[in-house]
Structure 1
Amino acid sequence: MRHLLLTAAAAASFVLPAYAAEPAPVPSPGEIAASAPASDWVAIAASDLLVMDLTPDATGKPRRVVIQLMPAPFSQGWIGNIRKLAAAHWWDGTSVNRVQDNYVAQWGDATEKKALPTGLATVPEQDYTVPVGQLVIHETPARGTKPSPHAPRGDGYAEFTRFSGGWPVAFDHAREWPLHCYGAVGVGRNMSPDTGAGAELYAVIGHAPRHLDRNIAVVGRVISGIEHLSSLPRGTGALGFYEDEKKRVPIASIRLADSLPAGQQPKFEYHSTESDSFARYADARANRRDPFFIKPAGGADICNIPVPVRPVAAK
């Protein structure tokens, strides 16, 4: 009898379910970026941050928008003008005067009568693009200077696209240019050959208007406070301009961050697009495998792979 019981027990052990350990959850793109080592993050110089303070909202809440300016060699003529305009406090007392749904929020002198500072450059249209290979990557010497091989290679607007030095760019076999992704900041202009001085600026608050690439200068991107522009009431005039001047949102000041007192300078860093962790992040954006998703897309528009930027706590 004892022999039969042992045999039965042994047989039963073969039909009981085996409970394997639960597979580790697949990280989301945000989780991949958040877990990237500190060495994969690059500090943004205060001299490359443009700080726009709008007047407080109806509840008295401050409204600050921080813009990272484009690195050399892109758009440097316009960015030189922007630095001069900020140093002259030219934007103080101007306004956000255009908000077009699914397109842009634009600011500057609504009257078009305010005198510009002397010494602003007139930038030629050829500077909307630069020769391929001129981008200077301001990162640690240990990191490579070759463009990331992990970005999408083509789209409907350009022969190729990639990330270089933290920025999405497009290129062909001769020229390279920055892109109008969400949050991109560009220079308003009149009809060609005018290219704008940089006094009229706009931020993209809708679907990426890539048809503007190589037609208007991209000078930066909003890295903090985009909600203060994207949530504004839409203008009812042509192209979203406010017909009632009382609807315009006054600008208290626009300054370069390095001109602010040391304790008031915002600090940010971006996820290096030359790092292995960014390669994993970009792949995860193109192939969502985290639990919510049923079918990975198998690809992504470059503007749908935003480069992570995070604030740095004061020490």
Structure 2
Amino acid sequence: MLTTLLLLQAAAHSPAVTPKSPGEIVAAAPDAAWRDISPLDLLVLELVNGARVTMRLAPDWAPVHVANIRALAKARWWDGTSVNRVQDNYVVQWGDATEKKPLPQGVVAPPPAEYWRGLGSVWMRALPYRDAYATKVGHSGGWPVASDGKSAWLVHCYGMLGVGRGLAPDTGSGAELYTVTGHAPRHLDRNIATVGRVLEGIEALTSLPRGTGNLGFYEKAEQRVPIRSIRLGTEVTDVPRWQYLDETSAAFAAYADARANRRDAFFNIPAGGVDICNVPVPVRRKP
């Protein structure tokens, strides 16, 4: 009885443990929980004003499209092209506004429809929450992934990189690219090749004036935002090394749980669930 009383008194005087926010969990993640992103998979866009956007490519998910993108970058094909479309709450798109610039030798046009992969070739850390567009969602290799039980595909979350195309069977060469800048347009999943994501600098695109034409395209040539260059990460001398938080780590598990169940001081009622696009894979510059 005395022991129980002492324990109760000790608990009453113990300071309450303040649950960590998702950001605090990520900041405290050990170095062993982070995985390097290969410089070969980086793509660096620079606007004429000096603003830079760094992207990670996904060759395992869209190998032919990514090979095309690398060939276009090596050929300096995008130099002097422009951002041509800024649609509010949707996408920012860039490429050759005339759609007449010849593609470099070696670019496959049109590539195969690399919209999904066989499920047997994909390992996924699944989220335990329902999804409106897929039977299962989760993360694999630093990417947001969905599955129907037969195949798996990259999800159109904020900051993801896609390939502009015309009507099917056109699959887009990779010369026209866009990034998602609004609420996740999941209806595009499995209909367009998703080839990467923005790691840093997306504000250089989201802050651009909205296009006044149909679908957010700029109506006048002087409205378009010129692109100085797009280079592979291996071609840019001062590009940082990047890492993503490994979805197999304990830190990622705690982070995902915290995104679904906010227990830090601001929140009164945890949601008890989370959308795949509200669990973005954390990235950081390598220390």
| TM-score normalized by the length of structure 1 | 0.85
Rounded to whole Å, the distance in 1 between the matches of 2:281 and 2:105 is: 36
Query: Any stretches of 5+ residues in structure 1 without a counterpart?
Result: 1-17, 57-61, 136-145
Query: Any stretches of 5+ residues in structure 2 without a counterpart?
Result: 1-10
Of residues 33, 47, 64, the one that matches 1:77 is: 64
AA aligned opposite 2:62: S
CA deviation after TM superposition for structure 1 residue 267, in Å: 1.3
RMSD value, Cα: 1.4
What are the equivalent positions in structure 2 for 1:252-271 lying under 5 Å apart? 252-261=228-237, 264-271=238-245
CA deviation string 1:247-282 (max 9, x = no partner): 111100000011223xx1321111001111100000
Rounded to whole Å, the distance in 1 between the matches of 2:157 and 2:86 is: 17
1:159 is the counterpart of 2:163:
no
CA deviation after TM superposition for structure 1 residue 287, in Å: 0.4
Rounded to whole Å, the distance in 1 between the matches of 2:59 and 2:165 is: 21
Rounded to whole Å, the distance in 2 between the matches of 1:46 and 1:131 is: 27
Residue of structure 1 in register with 2:6 after alignment:
none
1:53 is the counterpart of 2:53:
no
Q: Contact conserved, 2:59 with 2:66, CA < 8 A, in 1?
A: no
Q: Contact conserved, 1:148 with 1:163, CA < 8 A, in 2?
A: yes
> Number of residue pairs matched?
276
Q: Contact conserved, 1:153 with 1:162, CA < 8 A, in 2?
A: no
What are the equivalent positions in structure 2 for 1:82-93 lying under 5 Å apart? 82-93=69-80
| TM-score normalized by the length of structure 2 | 0.93
CA deviation after TM superposition for structure 1 residue 111, in Å: 1.1
1:227 is the counterpart of 2:215:
no
1:67 is the counterpart of 2:55:
yes
Residue of structure 1 in register with 2:270 after alignment:
296
CA deviation after TM superposition for structure 1 residue 212, in Å: 0.1
Runs of 4+ deviating beyond 4 Å: none
Q: Contact conserved, 2:124 with 2:145, CA < 8 A, in 1?
A: no
Residue of structure 1 in register with 2:223 after alignment:
247
Rounded to whole Å, the distance in 2 between the matches of 1:53 and 1:266 is: 15
Rounded to whole Å, the distance in 1 between the matches of 2:272 and 2:221 is: 47
CA deviation string 1:110-157 (max 9, x = no partner): 0111111122122222x211100314xxxxxxxxxx5324x2454111
Q: Contact conserved, 1:152 with 1:301, CA < 8 A, in 2?
A: no
What are the equivalent positions in structure 2 for 1:9-158 lying under 5 Å apart? 20-56=13-49, 62-72=50-60, 74-121=61-108, 122-125=110-113, 127-135=114-122, 146-149=123-126, 151-158=127-134
Residue of structure 2 in register with 1:4 after alignment:
none
Q: Contact conserved, 1:268 with 1:312, CA < 8 A, in 2?
A: yes
